[in-house]
Amino acid sequence: MIRFITALFFILLTTGVKAQQTLHVLAFKSPKELHQFFRWTGKDIPIVSGHRGGMIKGFPENSLATFENTLKHTPAFFEIDPRLTKDSVIVLMHDATLDRTTNGTGKVGDYTWEELKKLRLKDPEGNVTEHRIPTLAETIEWARGKTVLNLDKKDVPFPMIADIIRKHKAEAFVMLTVHSPAEAAYYLKGHKNQMFSAHMLTPQVVADYEKAGIPFSQLIAYIGPRIKPENKEMYKLLNAKGVMCMISSAPSYDKLKTPAERAEAYRNVFADGASILESDLPIETAEAIQSVLPAKSAKAVYFKKATFSDRF
């Protein structure tokens, strides 16, 4: 029997058969479904966004391993950072330099993709891991059927971002962070169904988007990093247009010293009126808000579990 088990293990190892894992997924068949999921109704399930995928020991930011680890614990979508290599390959990297998050040094744009492939990513504590820098293309294909990607604005030209979404037919699960109506209008010329995460910190900015004819049915609104009295006006204004509002706790409540303090802050964000919380600690955030999840919601149909081959 021992010989049989040993032989079976050897066969599985050498034939490349991988373990199966169950992930919490947000899967959309069309841009219309994506728009409907992010449409504010007043009876929605609180949504967690992983800032750069999440940041816990052993798992680097902006890595496929981190995205998968987060989805093992909770449904979430991910804010990620596209940057351009010397030979015009789009990779994921928040900083313009490699020093903080990899075992390399210098500017991302000074290296070719072949050179960057040799580097390994660091976790939040600075430990070098086995994980490598992913390209945006492979990240998009990984995300298909699993989650939504929110592409932040870094140094990649707009036409290249538009082209990669078109090439991979990814409008149903890729949204774009925009900082002005003009940026949104540019993408809408070639992608009429494009979804956006728009920076809207004041009522005047909301009016600017309306004047520019940007469809409110195709965006969520980032309104800041903290609970503040001014948020009430923004919730009222944007929710009336069917827009969900997002708070980012990455620069604020994620920095609180204890899990208990952070958990209370995360719950308070949703109690204040936010629909989405973007966090460096998405797993911790999801655990903290279990008590405030609605018993029933029409949006529950979008929250599913699915089994995939473990690639890490």
Of 87, 125, 122, 127, nearest to 108 by C-alpha is 87
pLDDT at 185: 98
d(Cα 212, Cα 205) in Å, to the nearest integer? 11
Question: How many angstroms separate the CA atoms of 292 and 271, rounded?
Answer: 8
Residue-wise pLDDT for 165-188, tens only, equals 999 999 999 999 999 999 999 999
**270-290 pLDDT tens trace:** 999 999 999 999 999 999 999
* pLDDT per position as a tens digit, 223-263: 999 999 999 999 999 999 999 999 999 999 999 999 999 99
Does residue 191 carry a catalytic annotation?
no
Q: Would you state the pLDDT for residue 18?
A: 58
- Please give the Cα distance from 47 to 177 (Å, whole number): 17
Residues in the chain: 312
Residues whose CB falls within 8 Å of the CB of residue 287, separated by 6 or more in sequence, listed in order: 73, 74, 263
Helix, strand, or coil (residue 177): strand
Q: How confident is the model at residue 295 (pLDDT cuts 50, 70, 90)?
A: confident
Q: What is the DSSP letter of 280?
A: S
pLDDT at 63: 98
Does position 12 have pLDDT exceeding 50, yes or no? no
Q: How far is CA 117 from CA 102, 209, 263, 312, in A?
A: 11, 40, 37, 16
| Arithmetic mean of pLDDT, 16-37 | 88
**53-87 confidence digits (pLDDT tens):** 999 999 999 999 999 999 999 999 999 999 999 99
Do 34 and 172 meet the contact criterion of CB atoms below 8 Å apart? Answer: yes
Segment 115-123 shows an average pLDDT of: 98
* pLDDT of residue 19 exceeding 80: no
Residue 128 β-bridge partners: 122
- β-sheet bridge partners, residue 149: 78, 174
SS3 content of the chain, % helix, strand, coil (to 5): 40, 20, 40
Out of 35, 51, 131, 191, which one is annotated catalytic? 51
Helix (H) or strand (E) holding 282, with range, is: helix 282-288
Q: Is the pLDDT score of 194 beyond 80?
A: yes
Residues 6+ apart with CB under 8 A from 14: none
- Cβ–Cβ under 8 Å, residues 94 and 62: yes
* 207: its two tokens: 């009016």
Give the CA count within 13 Å in the CB-facing half-sphere of 42.
4
Active-site entry in 24, 35, 73, 94: 94
For residue 133 the two structure tokens come to 């820098």
- Which letter, b or e, does each residue of 47-85 get, where b requires 16 or more Cβ atoms within 10 Å of its Cβ? bbbbbbbbbbeebbbbbbbbbbbbbebbbbbbbbbbbbb
Q: What is the pLDDT of residues 78-95, one digit of tens each?
A: 999 999 999 999 999 999
pLDDT in the model for residue 312: 57
Structure-token match 């804010």, residue found: 79
Cα separation of 61 and 101, whole Å? 8
Residue 94 catalytic?
yes
Confidence (pLDDT) at 309:
80
Position 1, amino acid: M
**What DSSP assignment string belongs to 180-232?**
SHHHHHHHHHH-TT-EEEEE--SHHHHHHHHHTT--GGGEEEEEESS--TTHH
Looking at residue 20, its pLDDT comes to 86
Tell me the C-alpha distance between 257 and 71, whole Å.
Answer: 25
